[in-house]
Amino acid sequence: MSENPNNNGSSGGHGAKGVGQPSSSAATAAHLRRFKPSFGAKISYVARIVPSYSWKTITRRVPSGPVHLIVVLADHFEPAIMPQDGRERAPYAEQERRLERWCMEYPLLANEFRDSEGRPFQHTYFYPAEQYDKGLVDRLADHCREGWGETEIHLHHGVHAPDTAEKTCETLIAFRDALEARGCLSYLDGSGLARYAFVHGNFALANSAGGRACGVDSEMQILADTGCYADLTLPTGLFHWAQTAKINSLYECSLPLDKRAPQRKGRDLRVGREPRMFPLIVQGPLQLDFASGKRFVRIENGALVAANAPSMRRWGLWKQAAISVKGRPDWLFVKLHCHSMDPRHEDAVLGEGMKSFLRGLVSGARQRGETLHFVTAREMVNIAQAACAGREGNPGDYRDYRLKRVRDCRAWVGNGNSEAVLKG
């Protein structure tokens, strides 16, 4: 199943068919109508975000002095994506070709642009669990081990019919274990259950899209039970049913995790109060753009797409969102998202559009009073937790604060888990 972002990252929900299976134009049209927001849905979307946006604009400002910018790119990484019909999948040979080309060309792009600590720009590759293929995941894992990012979990489900809690749990556990076996995931303080970050396909986290593209009210509890430490789904695509009124925030869910859409309400992360409710919600910027030059106002949601490539003007909007841990306003968190395997958006993620943006971002950072930190999802959450614990100084020092990529086998021996020790 693949998402089909439009010119500002909005997505219809899509199912999956076997490789090469045909679909009728009538079925495709009906499928798209099901997921196309109505006028009423668009009004509801605006009514949700504008009050929150206005309040954030009044109460939160970017500090006037030097700031640290912690930047993550959540890549909805789908080698099988078929932009013309999201219900289909590309032939396997095409998936291999796309992935191999990415693994060859991305290092050539990213190697030139490094942050304040010499780290190249990173992707966090959220690979779709329902599209798991051992060969493709092995190749992606090798790419990540070479220093170009980390792999986490993505899931599309409940598109043609609502999914069940049991099936969702089964799918997540199977894919979590497959990634763990390839050294892709992390461990809290080096021990225990494998941990992962998550992005919901079609943005319908915890059945938040009116029953579309999910069906599992208790999904957040399932994520917590299976080791998810953070969700990076939000903000949604443009005019999407699942968009929350709470925006531009890092927070813990304050509603019961087994209820529908507990991410609708939350307690902001704050210095002096370490988080206890996982998965944490890590939102990207959601801003009103009054200077796009294309229309009176545009909604900026941090999506890197062909019609809205990354730029220094957009960087200013992402920065203005001032997403931070309360009490540490000089550490700003910027979570962007993309579909790098979608051929339509190549320039925005791999071509001159991205190259020009990264060049301006890195070369002008000192003049803008910015210290850049290119991180993965895991590293961003570690830095946020360090801020909550009152840690100071260089946020880059806390990339491995609690979630470790390497398991400490001694900790497992202490827990009496001999099987886990053997796996370690």
Residue matched to tokens 């998810």: 228
278 phi-psi bin (left φ>0, alpha ψ -120 to 50, beta other)? beta
Map residue 105 onto helix, strand or coil: helix
Residue type for position 257 = L
Q: Which residues contact 46 (CB under 8 A, 6 or more apart)?
A: none
Closest CA to 232 of 216, 245, 217, 251: 251
pLDDT at 7: 35
For residue 263, what are its two tokens? 């991410």
pLDDT (tens digit, 9 = 90+) per residue, 90-127?
Answer: 999 999 999 999 999 999 999 999 999 999 999 999 99
Say how far apart CA 5 and CA 8 lie, in whole Å.
Answer: 7
Domains of the chain: 38-423 (3.20.110)
Could you tell me the two tokens for 117? 């600590």
Dihedral sign from CA coordinates of 92, 89, 6, 379 = negative
Alpha-carbon distance 331 to 339, whole Å?
27
Q: Can you count the helices (H) and strands (E) in the chain?
A: 12, 15
Residue stretches of the chain with pLDDT short of 70: 1-35, 292-295, 409-424
Instruction: Encode 271-309: b = buried (16+ Cβ within 10 Å), e = exposed.
Output: bebebebbbbbbbbbbbbbeebeeeeebbbbbbbbbebb
- Do residues 11 and 233 lie in contact, with contact meaning Cβ atoms separated by under 8 Å? no
SS3 call for 296? coil
Q: According to the model, what pLDDT value does residue 34 have? A: 55
pLDDT of amino acid 333: 98
| Distance, CA of 341 to CA of 337 (rounded, Å) | 12
Angle at the Cα of 206 (from 205 to 207), degrees rounded to 5?
90
Nearest alpha-carbon partner for 265 in 12, 47, 48: 48
**Residue 292: what pLDDT?**
62
Question: Which H/E stretch holds residue 49?
Answer: helix 39-59
Say if CB 243 and CB 202 are below 8 A apart. Answer: no
Q: Is the dihedral of CA 79, 83, 85, 91 positive or negative?
A: negative
pLDDT of residue 407: 85
- Per the CB < 8 A criterion, the answer to whether 154 and 127 are in contact is yes
pLDDT of residue 232: 98
Instruction: Report pLDDT digits (tens) over 392-408.
Output: 999 999 999 999 998 87
pLDDT of residue 249: 97
Which position has the token pair 């078929």? 82
Are 189 and 135 contacting, i.e. CB atoms less than 8 angstroms apart? no
In the numeric block, the tokens 């969700």 are attached to: 231
Could you give the angle at the alpha carbon of 204 between the alpha carbons of 176 and 51, nearest 5°? Answer: 130
Residue 275: the pLDDT is: 97
Cα maximum dimension of the chain: 62
**CA separation for the pair 357, 371 (Å, rounded):** 16
* DSSP characters over 323-378: ---BT-TTEEEEEEEE-TT-GGGHHHHTSHHHHHHHHHHHHTTTTTTEEEEE--HH
Instruction: Copy the structure tokens of residue 121.
Output: 């720009």
